[in-house]
Amino acid sequence: MNEFLLHECECARMPLIGEMAPEFGANTTNGYIHFPNDYRGKWVILFSHPGDFTPVCTTEFITFQSMIDEFHALHTELIGLSIDSNASHLAWIQAIKHDVKFQEWKDTNITFPIIADTSGAIARMYGMIHDATGNTDTVRAVFVIDPRGIVRSILYYPKSVGRNITEIKRLLVALQTSDAFHVATPAEWIPGDDVIVPAPQTSAEIQKVKNERRDWFLNFKHISPEMILNKITNRKLITDEKPKKKKK
């Protein structure tokens, strides 16, 4: 028998899509949290960064903060993490506020919590440390966790490549749209594009669709961006009002 099969791995198994997010308690720049219990009923973007006072991470944090109102409108909280102390996190965000300008942003006050994980226990629990790239800091991992505490998506980026925060938001909106309307989203989807409806489940349903079109397994429907926004944010649509008649 292969000796590797006999080797008992001491590493913690990282969570997978569809599983409950592992629980932990931690100190953060906003105080102590118990995760995911403190965030029940909210979506969460839990993301790791390789280290404080690093250039790429600084640009990511400023961009996340610049979009925080957009995430909050989607009932979503941001949580950062690295294997740095709380004191280091606090010093770094003070430096970002007073000393850093990135693109058009300056005087940026980082308001979302950053987890202090000096032992690396949380990072290893979530598979954020990849030993081949170094065993003392985290890669750029992103976990999208839903209001029930279930992992819905996992993204990994290398240390040298900054994340596209707009794409992370697009992914979040796609997940929320899929849940709200029981649909799937095609490649390159953004709100306003057609969505995919579930495929037929019986021969009779297949025949009915085939009578209407050839591509019976790929069916689309349109959901307006306004309808999506209304559903996933519980906002009242102003477009419900009847349009005023034009004067002749």
Active site positions, annotated: 57
Q: Where are the alpha helices (DSSP H) in the chain?
A: 3-6, 55-66, 68-73, 86-99, 121-125, 165-181, 203-212, 225-233
Give yes or no for a contact between 95 and 62, defined as CB atoms under 8 angstroms apart. Answer: no
CA 169, CA 47: separation in Å to the nearest integer?
Answer: 13
Residue 239 DSSP symbol: G
At residue 40, φ and ψ (nearest 5 deg) are -60, 135
Residue 11 DSSP symbol: S
Query: Which residue in 63, 15, 247 sits closest to 167, CA to CA?
Result: 63
Q: Tokens 């990072």 map to which residue?
A: 123
Give yes or no for a contact between 74 and 39, defined as CB atoms under 8 angstroms apart. Answer: no
